[in-house]
Amino acid sequence: MPKRDIRAGDRGEPESSMDNPKEDFLEDYIRQNQLLLCFPLTIDILKQLGEEKRKVVLTIMDDVSDEKSLKLIRTLKSAASANRDSLFSYVGVKQWEEFADTFDVVIRM
């Protein structure tokens, strides 16, 4: 008996030329989960965001490693979990000054 390549959901029917809703869902799921909901902004991630359709909430802080910023990052992660339609990102002026300066950031104490 000849071997046949059987995919999930294949019952021997000819392939349809119509879009498969399961495939569309899977593509959307993979696209939406390529990035974490809350992440530090880097050059590589910035490139990925070019194709992203969700809104990005960017938080600019002085130094991502100080205690106050770490608390803020935890808060951002909580907000990201509750608002999956948006992405939350953060960047530290000390970590990436050139990028942060493009926003004319004024540091408040």
CATH code of the region 36-101: 3.40.30.10
42 pLDDT exceeds 80? yes
| pLDDT score for 97 | 83
Helix/strand number for the chain, H first, E second: 4, 3
The tens digit of pLDDT for each residue in 8-33 reads 555 555 554 456 777 777 776 666 66
Mean pLDDT of 44-61: 88
Taking the alpha carbons at both ends of the chain, their separation in whole angstroms is 76
| pLDDT score for 17 | 46
| pLDDT score for 55 | 92
Mean pLDDT of the chain: 79
81 pLDDT exceeds 70? yes
Least confident of 7-16, 52-61, 62-71: 7-16
* Whether the Cβ atoms of residue 99 and residue 41 lie closer than 8 Å to each other: yes
| pLDDT score for 68 | 95
Domain residue ranges in the chain: 36-101
Q: What is the dihedral of CA 39, 42, 44, 48, to 10 degrees?
A: 50
